[in-house]
Amino acid sequence: MDRYITGFVIRRLRESKKMTQEDLAEKLYVSGKAVSKWENGQGFPDISLLEPLAKALDISVTELLSGEYIRNRNRSANMFRSQCYVCPVCGNVVWSVGEAVVSCCGITLPPLEAETAEQEHEIHLAKVEDEYYVTIDHPMTKEHYISFLAAVSDQGIQFVKLYPQGNAEARCKIARVRYLYAYCNRHGLFQVKV
């Protein structure tokens, strides 16, 4: 915990809530002098006070510890800027509607960058009534396979988990789909614009 930044965040949030140091101290059952020390970087709140302090300031404990005041400025998220994270240990997949810090199996996962689908990762689609029938001519062995297919529209994501020794195919509703993604367990994420 950085003394200066955390103290600055505590002071800024306390003042934005029109609280005095004494008001905050009263909520936490500590002295006003203790709050003053935190804000001036001369001390730290006890670990048992982190959650009540964050609650009193209306932020998360993570924000308090990082010293960053984080607020969602993008209330209407854009699905086309979503990010995909895949754990190399267990294969867990996390799709977020923007940047995130994602960890799994003790590893912080980087967002995947999708490459244009070509050659053995080329994504084929055919319209079948109100759906796309998506296929990929790709080996589907236990060692090398397409793990999932995803169709992204401005309204959401359709996600289909695939398994080794199955077929690299799926169906998804056509409605407003703009991008199709395929994830190869060896070569990463591929996309095609619809």
Averaged over 66-89, what is the pLDDT? 71
Residue 194 identity (one-letter amino acid): V
Q: Which of 70-84, 92-106, 132-146 has the lowest mean pLDDT?
A: 70-84
Q: Which of 2-16, 36-50, 61-75 has the lowest mean pLDDT?
A: 61-75
DSSP label at 12? H
Q: What is the pLDDT of residues 157-188, one digit of tens each?
A: 999 999 998 999 999 999 899 999 999 999 99
CA–CA separation, 3 and 42 (whole Å): 7
Q: What is the pLDDT of residues 96-131, one digit of tens each?
A: 887 778 889 988 889 999 999 888 899 999 999 999
- For the chain, give the mean pLDDT: 86
Burial label for 123, CB within 10 Å (0-12, 13-18, 19+), is: buried
